[in-house]
Amino acid sequence: MPPIKIPSRKEVIQREKSSGKDVAAIYPIHYPRELFRAFDVHPVEVWGPPGVDTKMGSAHLQSYICSVVQSGLSFYLEGGLKEVKLILVPHCCDSLQGLGSIFKDFVKPGQEVLTLYIPRGITEESVRFLSDEIEKLYKSLARVTGRAPARERLMEEILLEEETDALVKDFYAGRKKTPLSSREFYAIIRAREYLPPRDYARLLQIAPRQSPESGPPGRVGIIVSGLLPEPMEILDVIDEAGGFVVADDLACCMRRVYGKGAAENPFKRMAERIVQGPPDSTKGGSVDEISVSLTGLTEATGARGVIFYNVKFCEPEDFYRPMLKKRLQNKGIKTLTLEADINQPLSQQAITRVRAFIEMLKGEA
Amino acid sequence: MGLVNQIKYLTLYKIIGTAVISRQTRKSLRHYRLPRGWREDILAPPLRIGAYTQQMIAKHYLEGRYVNGVKPVAWVTSGAPIEILKALGYYILYPENHGALCGARKVAQEISEEAERDGYSIDICSYARTDIGTALSGKTPVGKLPKPDLLLCCTNICQTVLYWYRVLADYYEVPLIVIDTPFVYEEANDHDIKYVKRQLESSIEVSEGIAGRSLNFKRLKEVVRASKDAADLWLQCLKANRRKPAPISVFDQFIHMAPIVEKRGDPETVDFYARMLAEINRRVENGVGAVKHERKRVLWDNLPIWYRIRFLSESLAEHGVAVVASTYTNAWGELAPLMDVERPVESMAKTYTYPILNRGTGHKLRTMESMIKAYSLNGAILHSDRSCKPYSIGQMDQRLKLLNERGIPALLLEADHNDPRAFAGEQAVSRLKAFVEMMEA
Ligand code: SF4
Ligand code: SF4
């Protein structure tokens, strides 16, 4: 099968800019993509990126701050965001809160830095608050861009995102039958971080879906849980060891496949989608909510093991993990915890542990 | 069961326990003795009010041992709006204060290891590890902690508390009230305050349900009044340090802040701080400084290093350095003016949205700068607390700004507020020495 050509971030940014659009750099995790699009602002997400020299960021951040934030700041400081018109730092954890604050108070980029507070918990109150917060973001975008998209335009973009979410869900649902390696599958999933929705939908359409010889005979279904699958090498290691990533519980992937909103008011609808979306440690849901979702995912996909792929110093994940492990183990699901720094290659020890983990699962089959 | 608990509470806490603790307090005041090994050559004696601080803490934890089944029990975060619970008659426990106590008594590591053995990462806040360790093992230096009937978590100090309280809610299987306070990068928006207010309002019903009684707004106002008065007196105690020499050190403040955190809203806390202020004023009148031969005055930023308070106090006092102001102790007083007794819920929404930890890194720098000016300080020690990311993030820029733009020597001291494994004593001493030299240069 010929590999699918996915345009790079750089290519997409150039193309969007030359078509007259502004580009916004978006830090993790939750935000309404559709709002930016309605302003003709193309959102490109900055998950690290991995492999950045974090020396520049370390002049502002202590070593016990996670590598996602270290890289995110370093990337800006070394000129990686020169092309963007504005920066959004959603408030998803204490470290991102600090990043947003350091940007605003000390680094003071030439571009506007906007923030978005994501409320904790799923309540009517949190929807109402986030709706107000998104409306505030609307006003900031209007100020920065000089545009003021009408309700219809907002709804148009919301519906497009909802459609895209449905396509992504569908793509996940067919995962077991795709002939794609785990790395290829996640390259496609993650291309949503920077592709416009129509291009992304096209990519999902051309991605191979069915293959008689695909699927996992003899392969062990694995779920990867955490913030992001970086370094992505882990996916290769899983496949090489005889595993197969059947689904994920990753903040940058499945935890952001939101459902449809119900409200007629566009701000409220965007808020509903985020608040009522899949559980995520950074949204501070109950242990039950998160564990029911994760154990449900293992049951639905037939996964036999869960790998917690944890970014070192990521507190939101660190708190929930012990409880989640217990719940999974009670259901007979084996777990493995790996600690990663998105700027460091996967250690030999980690590789050996993944191999041993999958061997063990195979042995039990 | 209820009756047995009532009888135990009455006899073992109310009658016998309280009498024994009060007698001990009177005895220690009558036969006042310096703590063992106290460096009289460099430090003034500890405040005599310390006997009452100990009494209040001892009574609080003793009550906790017998309170289940007698009063509703709430575990709350340190910045939580407790006035509603107080007005409803709850016994309130602060796991962070308990963590600090474990740290000061040097048992936090052992208890944290219980949590670590259960899978909790060494990278999470050491208060949380201590607390979870206590929940799992029952280990505590205070004998026994009461089980919660309700948890109240306010995110105005960090998000960490939310995940931590989710773990507790799961473990104890009790309701959790979350008061989510949007972070204030610059100024709070109207919708932020309204959001907090709505959450406070809806928390009333849950709290009433567990307490089995309705909130009396007259009582709520009394509690808010007591909170405000105590915070105001606390602030006056701190402000006394604008005088030279400073009558109390920040290390004293760390010890005497326990009531303003865990006994806020009680009339006895107001009395306590009135007495403390009187004692401090006597020191001012007599020209007594906490550090004998005070030569340099510095600021402390971030949490205390609970297990090394005395060590740090002596290491600095040896050089005539008095630590006289702290962003941390100041946080418990600076919001007192925002509390409005006549509009308790509205004003609580605002007050509890604005603590320093819920505000931007620039605001913290400005707070430090104004304290440096108001307290005539020569330098700043920024405790870079591995466990407390929200307080520590930004310190590297804040330090450089103080140093380069204000000419204030500033030291970044790496440690952890409760976990001694993250503290290198010898290295700290040599860094403090270099810092003192820098101030003297
Ligand atoms: S990895 Fe964890 S700590 Fe770091 S930015 Fe993401 S959620 Fe926050
Ligand atoms: S992270 Fe900091 S603010 Fe939060 S509980 Fe720990 S010490 Fe307190």
Record: contact B166-A284, CB cut-off 8 A? yes
Which of B120, B152, B161, B332 maximizes ligand 2 atoms within 8 Å of its Cβ, making it the mutation to test the pocket?
B161
What's the B157 CA to ligand 2 centre distance in angstroms? 7
pLDDT at residue number A121: 84
From B203, B186, B176, B202, select the one nearest B354 (Cα to Cα).
Answer: B186
**Count of CB pairs separated by less than 8 Å, A with B:** 153
Question: What residues does each domain of chain A span?
Answer: 21-149
pLDDT at A8: 94
Query: B280 to chain A nearest CA, in Å?
Result: 37
| Nearest CA-CA distance, residue B426 and chain A, Å | 21
- Residue numbers in B near A125 (CB within 8 A): 195, 198-199, 202
> Nearest C-alpha of chain A: how many angstroms from B310?
26
Question: What is the C-alpha separation between A44 and A40, in angstroms, rounded?
Answer: 13
What distance in angstroms lies between residue A95's CA and the mean position of ligand 1's atoms? 6
CA dist B275 → A7, B49, B233, B256 (Å)? 71, 7, 10, 12
Tokens linked to A85: 């018109």
Position A215 scores a pLDDT of 56
CA angle (B197, B200, B202) in 5-degree steps: 110
Contact B158 A94 (CB under 8 A): yes
Q: What radius of gyration do chain B's Cα atoms show? A: 21
- Cis-peptide into A229, omega within 30 deg: no
Edge-to-edge strands of the sheet including B410-415?
Answer: B321-326, B296-301, B379-385, B410-415
Contacts of A280 in chain B (CB under 8 A): none
The answer to whether the CB atoms of A98 and B158 lie below 8 A apart is no
pLDDT at A211: 63
Q: Which CATH architecture has domain A21-149?
A: 3-Layer(aba) Sandwich (3.40)
Beta carbons within 8 Å of B382's beta carbon, 6+ residues apart: B301, B302, B395, B398, B399, B410, B411, B412, B413
Global pTM value: 0.96
Q: How far is ligand 2, taken at its centre, from the CA of residue B78, in Å?
A: 9
Smallest Cβ distance to A64: which of B166, B178, B386? B386
Ranges of residues in chain A whose predicted pLDDT is under 70? 1-3, 210-217, 365
Phi, psi of B65 (to 5 degrees): -65, -30
Tell me phi and psi for residue B21, to 5 degrees. -65, -40
Ligand 2 centroid to Cα of residue A294, in Å, is 28
Parts of chain B with a pLDDT under 70: 1
Q: Which residues on A lie below 8 Å from B162 (Cβ)? A: 120, 284
Distances (CA, A) of A231 to A27, A306, A344: 18, 17, 7
Pocket of ligand 1 (CB under 6 A): A 28, 66, 68-69, 92-93, 95-96, 227, 282, 311, 314-316
C-alpha distance from B266 to closest chain A C-alpha (Å): 31
Query: Which DSSP state fits B435?
Result: H
Residue type, B96: E
Q: Could you count the other beta carbons within 10 Å of the beta carbon of residue A346?
A: 19
Contact A64, B358 (CB under 8 A): no
d(C-alpha B393, C-alpha B138), whole Å: 33
Please report the atom of ligand 1 found closest to the CA of residue A282: 7
Strand partners, A115: A89
B153 C-alpha to center of ligand 2: Å? 12
Predicted local confidence at residue B125, as pLDDT? 98
Is residue A179 within 8 Å of A208, Cβ to Cβ?
Answer: yes
List all residues whose CB is within 6 A of at least one atom of ligand 2.
Answer: B 96, 125, 127, 157-158, 160-161, 303, 357, 387-388, 390-391
